[in-house]
Amino acid sequence: MTRGLVIGESLIDIVGGDEHVGGSPLNVAVGLGRLGRDVDFLTHIADDRYGRRIVDCVKSAGAQLVPGSIAATRTPTAVATIAGDGSADYVFDLDWRLSGALEVPPPLFVHTGSIAAVLEPGCLAVEALIDTYRVSATVSFDPNVRPSLIADRELARARIEHLVEHSDLVKVSDEDLRWIDPDREPEQTARSWLASGPAIVVVTMGAGGSLALCSAGEARAAARPVRVVDTVGAGDAFTVGLLDALWGMELLGSDRRAALHGIPIDVLAEALEAASVSSAVTVGRAGANLPDRAELAQANRP
């Protein structure tokens, strides 16, 4: 168990006249690969022009595409509109499903989220895979809600909450928490999620920084000062930084589940700071262009 597994959608983001490889789970797989981490990526794309761009992107980052990922009739796209504050709205053309048996050894961790967690029929296979791999792996989940693709809000909320209960690590934005439970403040919802099973629940709040909750208490990290180009991939970069830090601390894997649940506040704060740096580098440039190890080192220099 020395490799991570990421499951979820990959697509082409179309922003103005530019096209970028994207998709929240893909960004996580690519981001970890760029940091030199061994990671497999299970997705659903076609053998077309866009699909080949995604394959090249995954391979060039050092990640491995899981066999069976190239089985779609067309590769998904998302047309993004960037607002004045750098935030993005998306219109998707996407079919999400998983094909065939998964031929990878038990992973150290499995990460999923976003469209893959709620859109049928693929979300049903994702849930089954999470249940299978939880025996050996830390489970990481980011809801990363896409309301334009959700036809049944209550069903989506139920699926999200089910995955939260079966996860060890949950990262979620305050914006997503307001959509998931508009009747409570985001921090209240996050605390109820922590009580349902995860070892750690992290809430990102844009310029307001981040909050991490665990059994020992809470840690906070301020957002790094940076000129924001756009926020595409910011949350995914945060997830990458968090997973990479916990990996380096040897807190991933089912045999480390008790240690993760008992993580001290100062150690959690260190992981939160690492995640914040990763996100800050990404929002400082266009698209979901996540940093490599050298760029993170540069960003950490005084």
Backbone angles phi, psi at 14, to 5 degrees: -110, 110
The mean pLDDT value for 260-266 works out to 98
Smallest CA-to-CA distance from 171 within 272, 266, 302 is with 272
Q: How confident is the model at residue 101 (pLDDT cuts 50, 70, 90)?
A: low
Domain 4-300 has CATH 3.40.1190.20: yes
Distance of CA 59 to the CA centre of its chain: 19
What number of other Cβ atoms are within 10 A of residue 48's Cβ?
A: 14
Q: How confident is the model at residue 14 (pLDDT cuts 50, 70, 90)?
A: confident
166: its two tokens: 């079966």
Backbone angles phi, psi at 288, to 5 degrees: -85, 70
Residue 291 CA to residue 281 CA, distance in Å, equals 7
- Summary mean pLDDT of the chain: 91
State the pLDDT at residue 228. Answer: 73
Residue 181 CA to residue 57 CA, distance in Å, equals 36
Smallest CA-to-CA distance from 149 within 175, 114, 125 is with 114
> What is the spatial order of strands in the sheet that 169-173 belongs to?
64-65, 39-42, 4-7, 109-113, 138-142, 169-173, 200-204, 210-214, 217-221
Is residue 302 over pLDDT 80?
no
State the pLDDT at residue 86. Answer: 59
State the pLDDT at residue 295. Answer: 85
Backbone angles phi, psi at 233, to 5 degrees: 85, 5
Is residue 238 over pLDDT 90?
yes
Residue 217 CA to residue 211 CA, distance in Å, equals 11
